[in-house]
Amino acid sequence: MKMTKRKITGKIGSSVLIGVGLANAGLAYCQTAEKPNVIIIYADDLGYGDLSCYGAQKVRTPNIDKLALQGRMFTDMHTVSAVSTPSRYALLTGQYPFREECYAPVFDAQDLLIDVNRLTIADMMKAQGYATAIIGKWHLGFGVGKPDWNGDLKPGPLELGFDYYFGIPTVSSHPPFVYIENHKVVGLDPDDPIVYGKSAETKVFDEKFNIDKMGGAKAAHALYDDEMVGTTLCGKAVKWIKDNKDKPFFLYFPTTNIHHPFTPNPRFKGTSEAGRYGDFIHELDWIVGEVMKALDEENLAENTLVIFTSDNGAMLNRGGQYAMSAGHRINGKLLGFKFDAWEGGNRVPMIVRWPGVVKAGTVSDQLIGNVDFLHSLASLLGYELKEGDAPDSYDMLPVLLGKTSREMRDHLVIAPLKPSNIAVRQGSWILISARGGGGFGAKKPGEHAFGGPPALFFAGETNSDIENGDYKPGAPDQQLYDLKKDPYESVNVINKFPKRAAKLNDLLKEIKTLPSTRQLQK
């Protein structure tokens, strides 16, 4: 049975949604109609300027643009961390990752970051009778103490509510370059195991970031061709959808596009005007098109909620620099890049499509975070969260579905790589707790390095505090911007509005001490 417009309008009409009916809006869906399938496509490092529907000129994204034409585009969506691992933590658990001191990416020697007793989106969907899968990049660690790459990678996604996992274990730029299926490395030959351990030459860096050097396992590595990862994951996702078409399903599809290295399938090479970076976006667009085609072929499109977004802003690496030099603005005009508390690090594209429910071709400027997906989907399914579940997740379902113009989230905490630069939004104001974006640093424009010298975290950005790659004398210790008036964070107005800054500092302090911010929702 298809979700019908009539049923939705009857229960979720706009008059019902104004006021007290909001919290139970989702319950109405479940009582009146078939449970909708849910797909979250979570692109990697896709910036605010990387799609044609968000203004890009040097790349073409017809499939994603079509999603926007058929659904709702968001212009004030933020990932609550500008870094891959904590961003995924927030999405899956509905908890701010700073509560677990999680700010940085994890690598191959890291155990599972999420407590298996904590509710995840997948647990919740599974409890509601959904088939659940993650196909793509995990990046949240495996095991207890340390992953056992030659044994069972457990606990991992399967212990957090997913029925099925196929994908890459950490990040496409770092080892081990293998696929994982459920608990095992694919194609691992016990006679040729993965060999890992600390390397003497890079000991300091490796210990800081918990990295092991890896070798061995020729057969397993041979199955991993980096130019085939995008198409392989896409094929697995399409197959899983088709195999599970007869039950309600939840697919979490974190793509490896468009994280560096920029390795599109050869068929996409040279198709954009922004180098391999742009070609990799073209492959991502094709992947989205294939998923949508599968839904159409199986007659599932009308009963599937698709959320497309990114885990953090675009990164100024070599590919990004090349794209920028070709005139492609990876984060649009926003200040900063991936890892930053500045807007370029965390304001990301988001499109929600659900034919007949979400009004086609609409745009929302409401503030929302990726930490809100869990509670919003709980609301959709009528699942009651217990105390301690998803403590920072707000029910933003009416915002996601375009059923209210009321502001439902007036504040949001945003973490960059450096804990000192944690930021808080309230309304259109943002306070950043220290100087700079809190991301990568370097001495010269265009360079980047972890923790870069001297003091400035700088990748070519300039505003009222910064000149020629350094802070101006007397630059304030914190930053305040009114994003309505100054969306590109060009002038730090903290000295002009000290009361506003104090208020935001108090709010951030309060949020940090509260075990949950859910009760703060208006």
- Binding residues vs Ca ion (CB under 5 A): 44-45, 84, 311-312
State the chain's maximal CA–CA distance in angstroms.
Answer: 67
Q: Are 119 and 162 in contact (CB under 8 A)?
A: no
Least Å distance, CB 244 to Ca ion, is 27
Q: Which is nearer to Ca ion, 307 or 378 (CB)?
A: 307
The strand pair at 72-74 and 350-353 is best described as antiparallel
| Residue 449: C-alpha distances to residues 73, 212, 452 (Å) | 33, 20, 5
Least Å distance, CB 158 to Ca ion, is 23
Q: What gap in Å lies between CA 58 and CA 467, rounded to an integer?
A: 29
Least Å distance, CB 177 to Ca ion, is 17
Least Å distance, CB 256 to Ca ion, is 10
Q: Which is nearer to Ca ion, 26 or 167 (CB)?
A: 167
Q: Which is nearer to Ca ion, 84 or 433 (CB)?
A: 84
Question: Residue 45: which region, alpha, beta or left (left: phi > 0; alpha: psi -120 to 50)?
Answer: left
Least Å distance, CB 334 to Ca ion, is 16
Q: Are 37 and 303 in contact (CB under 8 A)?
A: yes
Cα 172 from chain centroid (whole Å): 15
Least Å distance, CB 141 to Ca ion, is 16
Q: Are 304 and 35 in contact (CB under 8 A)?
A: no
Structure tokens at 390: 């998803």
Least Å distance, CB 326 to Ca ion, is 22
Structure tokens at 155: 């606990």
Structure tokens at 501: 């800054």
Q: Which is nearer to Ca ion, 221 or 276 (CB)?
A: 276
Least Å distance, CB 44 to Ca ion, is 4
Collapsing DSSP to helix, strand or coil, 352 comes out as strand
Count H helices, E strands: the chain? 15, 20
Least Å distance, CB 519 to Ca ion, is 31
Collapsing DSSP to helix, strand or coil, 115 comes out as coil
Q: What gap in Å lies between CA 39 and CA 224, rounded to an integer?
A: 25
Least Å distance, CB 257 to Ca ion, is 11
Q: Which is nearer to Ca ion, 44 or 206 (CB)?
A: 44
Q: Which of 307, 343, 315 is nearest to 258 (CA)?
A: 315
Q: Which is nearer to Ca ion, 324 or 378 (CB)?
A: 324
Q: Which is nearer to Ca ion, 45 or 206 (CB)?
A: 45
Q: Which is nearer to Ca ion, 95 or 310 (CB)?
A: 310
Q: Which of 34, 22, 165 is nearest to 92 (CA)?
A: 165
CA dihedral 235, 238, 243, 249 (to 10 degrees): 130
Q: What gap in Å lies between CA 205 and CA 107, rounded to an integer?
A: 12
Least Å distance, CB 230 to Ca ion, is 15
Place of tokens 């790459």: 149
Q: What gap in Å lies between CA 439 and CA 441, rounded to an integer?
A: 7
Residues in the chain: 522
Q: What is the DSSP letter of 99?
A: G
Structure tokens at 323: 């794209």
Q: Which is nearer to Ca ion, 259 or 411 (CB)?
A: 259
Q: Which is nearer to Ca ion, 311 or 389 (CB)?
A: 311
The strand pair at 304-310 and 350-353 is best described as antiparallel
Q: Are 304 and 20 in contact (CB under 8 A)?
A: no
Q: Which is nearer to Ca ion, 171 or 358 (CB)?
A: 171
CB neighbours of residue 210 within 10 Å: 15
Least Å distance, CB 59 to Ca ion, is 18
Least Å distance, CB 338 to Ca ion, is 6
Least Å distance, CB 315 to Ca ion, is 8
Structure tokens at 478: 């914190």
Q: Are 80 and 96 in contact (CB under 8 A)?
A: yes
Q: Which is nearer to Ca ion, 256 or 321 (CB)?
A: 256
Q: What gap in Å lies between CA 362 and CA 408, rounded to an integer?
A: 18
Q: Which is nearer to Ca ion, 44 or 279 (CB)?
A: 44
Q: Which is nearer to Ca ion, 102 or 493 (CB)?
A: 102
CB neighbours of residue 342 within 10 Å: 32
Chain position whose Cβ is nearest to Ca ion: 84
